[in-house]
Amino acid sequence: MRSSGSQFSSNFYQATILAIDDEAAILESITSALTQEGYRVLTASDGRQALDIIQALQPEEPPIDLIILDLMLPRLNGLDLCRILRQQGNTVPILILSARASETDIVVGLEVGADDYLTKPFGLRELIARCRALLRRRSQDLPETQPILQYQDITLYLQEYRVIVRGEETNLSPKEFSLLELFMSNPRRVFSREQLLEQVWGMSYLGDSKTVDVHIRWLREKLEIDPSAPQYIITVRGFGYRFG
């Protein structure tokens, strides 16, 4: 399984798309296009691998919001995979990709449970537009959920004051949580120490601005794989800090 994606999504949620195709060039093209649009992309090159990815998904991990499914797959073909998922009660939208363009093939694909059907060769713009439409429809069908902020391996649950980092829950102090929420709500915006003090500690705070540096260091120790070479909270020399 491979995951890519470096952009924040709008509405604080980075939708996850599972792309399944045994042609490496097509899979790479789809992954690149969707990643540039801000989606988190998982990939599989055969039907059995895709089914394993779906079934191994843990409750604390971001759910799969859309599946892009090629029909001609080794080990387990696309139609059978689609049929299995629907029989298991999985309602995630499925967009079929196929070189089969006859009316019968399209009808069969839709009847086994696919939500849309796109024939090869296809344009990436059309693929992205169809993905957006399916994701929009899914968001309207799902019950309202609590707001979250998500970036790569970090998920912040605002109402629960809970943070998941690389699949594991991480304990943050109230100030650390507020700092992270501010950063993730304003991706790539540079904050000075004074601005961070004002927004997290409040106008009445009379302490030293170095407390910001201390809390940033603590936060990095909990978020970063290597705190000495941070990938999330970046120091902008002469200005302050930014996230992402």
Q: Tell me, what amino acid is at 23?
A: E
| Residue linked to tokens 């120790």 | 221
**What's the pLDDT at 174?**
86
**Among the three residues 108, 141, 174, which one is the final residue of a domain in this structure?**
141
123 and 13 in a single domain? The answer is yes
Average pLDDT over residues 182-195: 89
Number of separate domains in the chain: 2
Q: Are 123 and 111 in contact (CB under 8 A)?
A: no
**Among the three residues 141, 161, 185, which one is the final residue of a domain in this structure?**
141
Write out the two tokens for 26: 């097509």
Confidence check: pLDDT of 5 > 90 = no
Confidence check: pLDDT of 6 > 50 = no
Q: Are 50 and 1 in contact (CB under 8 A)?
A: no
Q: Are 38 and 9 in contact (CB under 8 A)?
A: yes
Average pLDDT in the chain: 86
Give the structural domain span for 213: 148-243
pLDDT tens-digit map of 200-240: 887 666 667 788 899 999 999 999 999 999 999 999 998 89
134 and 183 in a single domain? The answer is no
118 and 168 in a single domain? The answer is no
Here the CATH number for the domain that contains residue 201 is 1.10.10.10
What percent of the chain is predicted at pLDDT more than 90?
49
43/81 Cα distance (integer angstroms): 15
125 and 175 in a single domain? The answer is no
**What's the pLDDT at 138?**
75
